[in-house]
Chains A and B, each alone.
Chain A
Amino acid sequence: MTDEPLLRVTALSKYYGSRIGCEDISFDLWPGEVLAVVGESGSGKTTLLNCLATRLLPTSGTASYRMRDNQWRDLYRMSEAERRFLMRTDWGFVHQNPADGLRMTVSAGANVGERLMAIGDRHYGNIRSTAVDWLGRVEIDEERIDDEPRAFSGGMRQRLQIARNLVTGPRLVFMDEPTGGLDVSVQARLLDLLRGLVTDLGLAAIVVTHDLAVARLLSQRMMVMKDGHVVESGLTDRVLDDPRAPYTQLLVSSILQV
């Protein structure tokens, strides 16, 4: 690990008219670190994620990112071309609904290969063998490489989306409820896979979730949001085992015990 963070967020705010999306958020993200953002629906966690991933422009505040050449760049002052290039090479974005992140009408292999072709890979054989390799890493049978994601189950689609994002070796991945809409056993398998990949590749990730178990399993650090503000942040185990803010205590105590 280097002694510099990867992403530095300062006083980020986003207003929808007079309503608050998220307000005055500051944090640093370090290389290889997984940060979970938890909170109830409407707490502003997805707004925050979309601002960080430059899918939304914040009303005020800055976010700077350390590029591969160690240059710090302000995300909101980059040209659109640079931003889009960053998004398809050094970043990944895993949507809650895989249909938003996949091309549903082209084969699984092409879905994985699209980013490679976007950065100029023009050798079919190489693209295909990389796709085969990545399908294997996300536990999709190689035989399914020419099937469209429409023919895949929800869990497979989500795994395919992850492979598609990781194929260019990104350093930072944004995940919006990566396990939402999956049943418990599939969720467990996906989390296991994600945890392995994140550790193997040394990925930094920002994971938005309302599921505290996901945060516990994946993240080292977490932020708890309510009404657009961060009410508590710290090491995941500390926050979950010893919640300090009243809202976090409520959140932790409302986990269903079976």
Chain B
Amino acid sequence: MTTAATEIATYNFAYLDEQTKRMIRRAILKGIAIPGYQVPFASREMPMPYGWGTGGVQVTAAIIGPDDVLKVIDQGADDTTNAVSIRAFFQKVADVAVTTETAKATIIQTRHRIPEHPLTAGQTLVYQVPIPEPLRFLEPRETETRKMHALEEYGLMHVKLYEDIARHGRIATTYAYPVKVEGRYVMDPSPTPKFDNPKMHMSPALQLFGAGREKRIYAVPPFTRVVSLDFEDHPFEIQTFDQPCALCGAEQVYLDEVILDDKGGHMFVCSDTDHCEKRQACGHRGHLAPEALEPAQ
């Protein structure tokens, strides 16, 4: 900050002006007060295209302080384009400390995953949300879906699950799996795999959701009930994998398929790169792991 003060013109702390941040904070507070309710807010243009996490970035910009430690993940990985560029953005405009370690972060901005390492009280998870409205593809009229939320008319959500079972013999929705928050609002948990839905339930961390293009913010406060919708005779299930991570041997984690060659070779590895590296550093090995770790750069 001392160097910034000497320059003639610079960005305001965390890019957004203070009035905008207050506006977003008000929306966040309202969202926390009404868990799962989509609060409209005046989403700003951000220096990145829609679909790249403009909603999440605005939420992060509104809540971040100079003492925060930021972690950004994209599909669980800290090293992909989206994660790297958003991390670099906040380093530049807010000069905050960044980390890839889940346990050390105070704010974790995520695209489509909840870290494997359990979150703790005091941490905030910020989701980038493309489509906040869980009823969107069943009822395209926004006036109607708002009314359905207001009157708690959620039968239509089960029509979607019914269709899944009728077509596939089971609930085939694997991501953006609808949840009911604190027994009231049905919420789209953003395109996280349904594997992560149980982690939202009674989480000690604060969960904030920002949809930039759709101009909506919603929230799940700590220790809130988050229940995945299902049928009595087709209960909610998470994905299971029949082999452990090929690099760290972890089980009961969410795995990504990685194509190795053009002859059908593939492996399943942890989607959470931080979790995988931590385990490898502790000596865990999967069947495709290198014998010794390359020295850290």
Contacts and interface: CB of A to CB of B under 8 A. Distances in A.
B141 interface: no
A106 B166 CA distance: 10
A103 interface: yes
Contacts of A172: none
A122 B232 CA distance: 6
Given A103-B138, A146-B167, A124 B155 contact: no
Q: Is the interface of B mostly helix, strand, loop or mixed?
A: helix
B234 A113 contact: no
Contact of A110 (B147, B153, B163, B231): B163
A80 B138 contact: no
A168 to B, nearest CB: 11
B158 A122 contact: yes
Given A107-B166, A110-B159, A110-B166, A123 B233 contact: yes
Given A84-B153, A103-B159, A114-B159, A146 B166 contact: yes
Interface residues of B, number: 19
Interface in B121-167: 138, 147, 151, 153, 155-156, 158-160, 162-163, 165-167
A216 interface: no
Nearest to A79: B151
Contact of A84 (B151, B156, B163, B166): B151
Contacts, number: 55
Contacts of A239: none
Interface residues of A, number: 23
A109 interface: yes
A74 B190 CA distance: 42
B138 A117 contact: no
Interface string A102-118: 01001101100111011
Interface in A145-166: 145-146
A81 interface: yes
A119 interface: yes
A236 B131 CA distance: 54
A123 B162 contact: no
Interface in B229-248: 230-234
A127 B162 contact: yes
A122 B163 contact: no
B155 A106 contact: no
28 contacts: A80-B151, A81-B151, A84-B153, A103-B138, A103-B159, A107-B167, A110-B159, A110-B162, A110-B166, A114-B155, A117-B155, A117-B156, A117-B158, A117-B162, A118-B156, A119-B155, A120-B155, A122-B230, A122-B231, A122-B232, A123-B233, A124-B165, A124-B232, A124-B233, A125-B233, A128-B166, A146-B166, A146-B167
Given A80-B147, A109-B162, A124-B231, 10 more contacts: A81-B151, A106-B138, A109-B166, A110-B166, A113-B159, A114-B156, A115-B155, A122-B158, A123-B233, A124-B232
